A and B are shown apart, each in its own frame.
Chain A
Amino acid sequence: MKVLVAIKRVVDYNVKVRVKADNSGVDLANVKMSMNPFCEIAVEEAVRLKEKGVATEIVVVSVGPTTAQEQLRTALALGADRAILVEAADELNALAVAKALKAVVDKEQPQLVILGKQAIDSDNNQTGQMLAALTGLAQGTFASKVEVAGDKLNVTREIDGGLQTVALNLPAIVTTDLRLNEPRYASLPNIMKAKKKPLETVKPGDLGVSLASTNKTLKVEAPAARSAGIKVRSVAELIEKLKNEAKVI
């Protein structure tokens, strides 16, 4: 089967971000960017499906700036066969990304689409569900285990009380949780080979997709700062403070 994986270029998860002084957003100038960690897991899962002989071709797609080519090349180095960049200048909302991805799904006709459950910048946790809605496909969100069984896909999902397993008709949409797998590193020979793999660039307009959004960010602020408290010397002192000063026990 053909597997489509959507990835996003985001600020590296180790970076402590700073809010811009004019409250227009987060300062991303000269900040290290990487593939969103949940997207790495999505790529890894697709590659493992290919290694098992389940997947035949892996197409990786990103909707974002020209620089997202770097992350697409990373995915190619990890084992994807070819890449598509839907080039969009501004930070897009989830629905616009889902619409762009739907256009790619219509064209590529994959049997399985894998996305991360959320991007660590916008923290929306929406795109996979929205893509499932727009394509009319079943969704297996927050997946910690994925198994193809004939024409069905068994997905074990992480839910609030534990785990839940659902059977989805293929084609289907899956979003990854952290425990689905442990992503591999790209080796240098694979990084070199990835430079020769095909990377196609399209514009949202070519796909007939509108990027309009009903959401507008008015401002972005730093959260209320929480300052360091005091260090206590002993457990007895800690209990005394919790009882008499903080009054929480």
Chain B
Amino acid sequence: MTILVVAEYENGAVAPATLNTVAAAAKIGGDVHVLVAGQNVGGVAESAAKIAGVAKVLVADNAAYAHVLPENVAPLIVELAKGYSHVLAPATTNGKNILPRVAALLDVDQISEIISVESADTFKRPIYAGNAIATVQSSAAVKVITVRTTGFDAVAAEGGSAAVEAVGAAHNAGISAFVGEELAKSDRPELTAAKIVVSGGRGMGNGDNFKHLYSLADKLGAAVGASRAAVDAGFVPNDMQVGQTGKIVAPQLYIAVGISGAIQHLAGMKDSKVIVAINKDEEAPIFQVADYGLVADLFEAVPELEKLV
């Protein structure tokens, strides 16, 4: 068995999500190869070659693969997939965008967001916003899978010395083009990889009040998240959203401030090790999952918390 992992990368190096995905591949067993597709991705390939447990790195460096447009990258993966038993990608927006296209071209069903590997063909994944866990078996010749990164501990980013091999194939469907992007800038740790996450909800009242959470987060070295209510109300940008339709996080400590705890939000954070809820509504559902609950006005509790930690 040989497994192909489609790398996620940012700023010229592999993203942490790739390390979790390699960990899932290692659980399946067999040789792990990593595909780096993009433009000017030599540095990414070098960092991928250092990942512990990776046997080979394939680099498809071509203008057609810039911004990893699925119309161009999917045929590349399909062409390579024939030699592999499994194709894995992290369940990031890129992975979710590309892999179902790959699966359909291979005429197989995909398995989305696995949280555990039971055997080489059997996997567990959450359904119904995490309110049920399905065990799914695949009979596909090539198993196409996205990996929920919080379900697997990352492998070491250093220590490997895989061979790097260039892939010449250039697929350019010519039906889509990148126009531009608008990325949110932040000095804080990345939400899905942070050890501590502080999240705010509708109770924050307005976007300006999120400054209380930012200063608390900076003191804790935490990332800042938000509920859908806070995003929809325009308090913060949508890439901060935690939940079924946003990002899935599983930090050591999750502090929910002014968040009621709708099931869609819980789906994104209930695997956190310790959950703290600060809410003035004693009946809020978030208290049913919180390890430590504090019924208090967040505008008094958060500054006090910041002062005392």
Contact = CB atoms under 8 A, between A and B. Distances in A.
A160 B176 contact: no
B294 A235 contact: yes
A117 to B, nearest CB: 8
A136 B292 CA distance: 51
Interface in B98-125: 98-105, 107-113, 122
B220 A249 contact: yes
Given A13-B264, A232-B293, A248-B273, A130 B101 contact: yes
B270 A159 contact: no
Contacts of B275: 226, 229
Given A127-B100, A160-B93, A231-B294, 16 more contacts: A129-B70, A139-B71, A142-B97, A157-B93, A159-B94, A214-B139, A217-B135, A220-B133, A220-B135, A222-B132, A223-B133, A228-B289, A228-B290, A230-B292, A239-B309, A249-B196
A93 interface: yes
B176 A215 contact: no
Contacts of B10: 161
A132 B103 CA distance: 12
7 contacts: A164-B178, A167-B177, A214-B138, A216-B137, A223-B126, A238-B305, A246-B274
A220 B292 CA distance: 30
B79 to A, nearest CB: 14
A178 B135 CA distance: 28
A120 B244 contact: yes
Interface in B272-309: 273-276, 287-296, 301, 304-305, 308-309
B253 A242 contact: yes
Nearest 9 pairs between A and B by C-beta?
Answer: A129-B100, A229-B291, A133-B104, A130-B104, A126-B100, A214-B140, A165-B179, A162-B183, A248-B253
B206 interface: no
Contact of A95 (B109, B178, B264): B109
B302 to A, nearest CB: 9
B187 to A, nearest CB: 14
A213 interface: yes
B130 interface: yes
A158 B105 CA distance: 24
A124 B264 CA distance: 15
A125 interface: yes
A contact residues, range: 35 or more
A100 to B, nearest CB: 13
A134 to B, nearest CB: 5
Interface string B180-219: 1111100000000000100000000000000000000000
A142 B286 CA distance: 28
Given A161-B10, A164-B181, A169 B176 contact: yes
Contact of B184 (A136, A162, A178, A242): A162
B292 A165 contact: no
- Most chain B beta carbons < 10 A, residue from A13, A127, A219, A248: A248
State the main secondary structure of chain B at its contact with A: mixed
Contacts of B169: none
A62 interface: no
Given A129-B104, A248-B196, A165 B71 contact: no
A231 B238 contact: no
Given A123-B112, A125-B112, A220 B127 contact: yes
Contacts of B100: 94, 124-130, 133
B238 A179 contact: yes
A236 interface: yes
A213 B109 contact: yes
Interface in A7-55: 11, 13, 16-17, 19, 26
A221 B101 contact: no
Nearest to A243: B309
Contacts of B135: 217-221
Given A95-B103, A177-B245, A230-B293, A164 B67 contact: yes
Interface string A88-101: 00000111001000
A143 B127 CA distance: 23
Contact of A246 (B105, B182, B264, B291): B291
Contacts of A142: 93, 97
Nearest to A13: B264
A129 B293 contact: no
Contacts of A13: 263-264
A166 B177 contact: yes
Contacts of B111: 215
A141 B294 CA distance: 40
